[in-house]
Chain A
Amino acid sequence: MIPAIVVFLYLAIVLYIGIFAFRRAKGKEEAEDYFLASRSLGPFVFLFSLFGTNMTAFAILGSSGHAFSNGIVTFGLMASSSGLVIPLTIFLIGTRVWALGKKHGFMTPVQMFRDRWECSHIGTTIFVVQAVLLVPYIIIGIMGGGTTLYTISDGAVPFWFGGAIVAMVVMSYVFFGGMRGTAWVNTFQTVLFLCFGAIALIVIGVGMGGFRSAANAIQNSPMASLLTRERISPYYFFSYTFIPLSAIAFPHILIFCLTARKMAQFKKTVIFYPLCILAIWLPCVFLGVMANRVTDIPEIRQKQEARRVLATQGKNMAPEQRDELREKSAGDDVIMVLLKHYAPLWLAGLLGAGIMAAVMASDSQILALSTMFTEDVFAFYGGKTRFGEHVQVQTGRIFIILITLFAYIVALRAPETIFELAIQYAFSGYAALSPLLIAALFWKGSTKWGALAVTLWTAITVIAVAVLQSVVPAPAPGPATVLWAPGGVEVLSRTPGGTAVFGFMPVVPMVIGSALLMIFVSLATRKPASTTLAKYFGGR
């Protein structure tokens, strides 16, 4: 129960930060203050909150779980590729969006798209697609909170109550503190993440009797492939470098780029981003791999046994049996299990708070959805003119309550795996939307019809992949099930982990398709007026 008490203390601190931010706002009821903290964030808060916003539960729980099953490849696959692509996109796109926001007062990406391409309903279409892809994150955040509290308290806090507490806390500090509260909480959480990685590494390392012996034991066992990248194909590895393109296309990240006081604040963020990723992901991936050497914890042995059965007998099993074994072998709770076994109670609580910080990253998405709704729908369709800015902010707050309630109700009723899958599609979907930003900022010739084509293509391909994966069950570990191979060329396959197109993940054809559609449809349609282009490109 002690770890649960520490976690509750952490939740109280987070709540206090949100309310303190509300008091700091001194009753200002301006939309720009509530939704963008008056574009006033300093370098430290900007770096840590932007980074924290991007670090979901997956950074700690998912990364170690993926490494437990797939080995060290997890780091190159998800962390170091993000360490190159995300700061690069912040440098190229984030700074430009910030400048346009400062000059023209944009608060959401859709506002910029509407102005840049002289469109209205196409902007609304983009809003709908962005919003639909964002909602699963909020739901999974609440589910993660409920599960973590349940695990930490050894079942004393039921899932429904834990989820309700997390939903209430997140809702409260977003409701009161707006962007300022969210940014401060994210900064606090990121500092916790960073401490978490270092402490967990030391405590578990000592508990395991040193990493040298564990690494040597794995090297000399049948599990030696976990120390290599053999379990993933080079095509899959290459495909994954397209996924971080999604980061800058996420509305909550792009809206966050608008909160910097000066453009110079981007400098530290761009430089330190790869190092922050290194500091958090490397210990988690390393511990996930080393967990395979722990033989005295029954939970870990059960996972390894499920993995072994799936690999040896999976081909002869029904899809439901395979899914059940996959769930049993999943290592998402492996860090929690190691901590429970090796860390003293009070430390396990502190580290549990760190994990809690990771699963509560849905705050920015809730605020982003509220900002988008009030700016792109409420204000755009005349609400702000009719009722004023004060009502706009209150509408945003009501929206926060409604979306959190909706997410909580869905979290109680639906199985978690559905939303984990939805998040997989969302990453690919947002990566496929990234050509919108590149075209808007760097290509005079892009048009609203090109933007519409990209948006519809994204929606259709995300739905197509989702339908395909629900209709065709995942095969057992090993060769993929080929679904379409005209002339012997494997075009479409169902793999144990998803779908492959010409051996690549769907995100590759999705992004390339988006880029081509933007180019060809724009070339065939009328460009915006020269006055609009001058606003974005000057005399260039």
Chain B
Amino acid sequence: MKNILLVLAVVVLYVLHQDIWFWRSARLVFGFIPIGLFYQGCFSVAAALLMWLLVTYAWPAHLEEEVEEANTGEDRSA
């Protein structure tokens, strides 16, 4: 279930990147940042948050364990 939610979050963020809703808007946020640029800036922060979720909840720890096991095996045989 956790993995499905994370995959869904990746897909949603990918769709949100297309940002067709501000395509033709030249409105300024805080009086100087174009809204389309502000949105994509916020999108980058959201991408960092998504990466944090992936690293926290879907980290492939088994790969590290496999490497450690392989290294321990090599040490023993040496």
Cβ–Cβ < 8 Å partners of B67 in chain A:
99, 102-103, 263
Query: Across the interface, do A227 and B36 meet the contact criterion of CB distance under 8 Å?
Result: yes
Cα of A538 to Cα of B70 in the assembled complex, Å:
13
A81 near B17 (CB under 8 angstroms)? yes
The answer on a CB contact under 8 Å between A80 and B47 is yes
Contacts of A424 in B (CB 8 A): none
B25 touching A278, Cβ below 8 Å: no
A473 contacts the other chain (Cβ, under 8 Å)?
no
Interface string of A256-295 (1 = CB under 8 A from B): 0000001110010011111101100010011001000000
Give the residues from 231 to 252 in chain A that come closer than 8 angstroms, CB to CB, to chain B: 234, 237-238, 241
* In the complex, chain A residues whose CB is within 8 Å of the CB of B41: 75, 80, 278, 282
- Tell me the dominant secondary structure on chain A's binding face: helix
Interface size on B, as a range, is 35 or more
Query: A437: which B residues are within 8 A, CB to CB?
Result: none
B34 to A80, Cβ gap below 8 A?
A: no
| Complex contact B37–A274 (CB within 8 A) | no
Say whether B1 faces chain A, with CB atoms less than 8 Å apart.
no
Q: Let me know if A75 and B45 touch, CB within 8 A.
A: no
Q: How far is the CB of A74 from chain B (nearest CB, A)?
A: 9
Given A76-B40, A95-B63, A99-B64, decide whether A228 and B25 contact each other with a Cβ distance below 8 A: yes
- On whether the beta carbons of A228 and B23 are closer than 8 Å, the reply is yes
A228 in contact with B26 (CB, 8 Å): yes
Q: Is the CB of A230 within 8 A of B17?
A: no
* A to B contact number (C-beta, < 8 Å): 133
Tell me whether A212 is interfacial, beta carbon within 8 Å: yes
CB closest chain-B residue, reference A104: B70
**Is there an interface contact between B40 and A80, defined as CB atoms closer than 8 Å?**
yes
B19 touches A76 (CB 8 A): yes
Evaluate whether A87 and B24 lie within 8 angstroms (CB atoms) in the complex, with A80-B43, A275-B45 already known: no
A215/B51 contact (C-beta < 8 A), A79-B44, A224-B26, A274-B44 known: no
* B21-47 CB contacts (< 8 Å) to partner A: 22-26, 28, 31-34, 36-37, 40-41, 43-45, 47
Is B8 an interface residue when CB atoms closer than 8 A count as contact? no
When distances are taken between beta carbons in the complex, the residues of chain A under 8 Å from B47 are 80, 83-84, 87, 274
**Known: A262-B64, A263-B67, A278-B44. Is A234-B23 also a contact (CB below 8 A)?**
yes
Closest residue of A by beta carbon distance from B37: A72
Q: Once the chains bind, are B55 and A271 in contact (CB under 8 Å)?
A: yes
Query: Which of A96, A214, A282 has most B Cβ within 10 Å?
Result: A282
Say whether B20 faces chain A, with CB atoms less than 8 Å apart: yes
Q: Is the Cβ of B32 less than 8 Å from the Cβ of A88?
A: no
A229 within 8 A of B: yes
Please tell me if A91 contacts chain B, counting CB pairs below 8 Å: yes
**Which residues from chain A sit less than 8 Å from chain B, CB to CB?**
72-73, 75-76, 79-81, 83-84, 87-88, 91, 95-96, 98-99, 102-103, 211-212, 214-216, 219, 224-225, 227-230, 234, 237-238, 241, 262-264, 267, 270-275, 277-278, 282, 285-286, 289, 538
Chain B positions near chain A (C-beta within 8 angstroms):
10, 13-14, 17-20, 22-26, 28, 31-34, 36-37, 40-41, 43-45, 47-48, 50-52, 54-55, 59-60, 63-64, 66-67, 70-71
Query: Knowing that A228-B22, A270-B55 are A-B contacts, what are 19 other residue pairs whose CB atoms are under 8 Å apart, sorted by A's residue number?
Result: A75-B37, A75-B41, A76-B40, A83-B43, A83-B44, A84-B50, A99-B66, A102-B70, A103-B67, A215-B28, A215-B31, A216-B31, A216-B32, A225-B26, A241-B17, A263-B67, A264-B64, A267-B59, A272-B48
CB pairs A–B below 8 angstroms (21 shown): A80-B44, A83-B44, A84-B14, A84-B43, A84-B47, A87-B51, A95-B63, A96-B63, A103-B70, A216-B31, A216-B32, A219-B26, A227-B26, A264-B64, A267-B59, A271-B51, A272-B48, A274-B45, A275-B44, A275-B48, A285-B37
